[in-house]
Structure 1
């Protein structure tokens, strides 16, 4: 894995998957494209945004959970046990990392801002599995660790939101 969490791009499979994402989204009537600042998220949706003549808006706080400081890449064999620990203990974090609670607060705030600013628009958000699960899980407990561990890369989920997001206590 070259680069760091922020700068690493897509694998060859990821590049192929980005083309599939573009094919799926091209006829959805998307008005706005928003992405995490991480290169792999940007690359996944920038092609479809450009082909439709739309700007890609990059939002810093849609970044992945900060697992460890300095944007270091953690191997999957270390990330998965950490994610499980973070779901079971939402205040837990490694030195230089952020807790599940802090990340969820960050991303739900961004989601609320997107909903408010782009009300009535169809918006595509390019982000990360854990971040997506935290956004969706904020108001629906079915989006939990098991859901996250059963996602694939990339996944596309359609959310229809009316009004404000409400938290359902788990």
Structure 2
């Protein structure tokens, strides 16, 4: 039986590096989160999982409430830190750091996490989710970098820097895995109607 994961990138949240875990959604973010809830409620979800960061939880909590589901928090589905809080990244250096991280998967700024490191801990968390919910329809509240890094586990060419640059806040990607956890198809549910693309993996 196939397992379906709905990757839900969080809605708009005012940036605050000091409050990375606790910053919530903006008014626009809450409006879009309500639309996300309507979409996900129609997908007959059987589980809702989230990064522990507030903005990710707030983006999927409406869907969980509509379906009477409890949100399961997974610490290791949190966003990838580019650097420690005491390592200041100037605005003009931010994109250069992201680009280098996606071209050199072992690169990390001081106190940060490389793509390889983020994928390792993220996949361990995702495997726990899959073990609990094999064959089910699961929504995962997540973040742009870690979502891209985890999707790249199945297809490095399709899910890299260019993919990360075009995702929106919020965004929803529906991923279907077969019984061997091989990738079958991915479709985007936000903001357009799904267009399913089979993936050779």
**TM-score scaled by length of structure 1:** 0.89
How many pairs align?
Answer: 167
Aligned to 2:59: 44
- Equivalences for 1:91-110 in 2 at 5 Å? 91-110=106-125
**TM superposition outliers: structure 1 runs of 4+ over 6 Å:** 71-76
CA deviation map 1:18-68 (0-9, x unaligned): 011001111111010000011100000012202221100111000000112
Aligned to 2:126: 111
Whole-angstrom CA distance in 2 between matches of 1:87 and 1:66: 14
Tell me whether 1:4 sits opposite 2:19 in the alignment.
yes
- Equivalences for 1:59-138 in 2 at 5 Å? 59-70=74-85, 77-138=92-153
Indicate the RMSD between aligned Cα atoms, in angstroms: 2.2
Tell me whether 1:147 sits opposite 2:172 in the alignment.
no
Whole-angstrom CA distance in 1 between matches of 2:87 and 2:27: 22
Give 1:75 shift: 7.4
**TM-score scaled by length of structure 2:** 0.76
**Higher relative strand content:** 2
**Higher relative helix content:** 1
What SS class does the counterpart of residue 123 from structure 1 fall into?
A: strand
* Runs of 5+ unmatched residues, structure 1: none
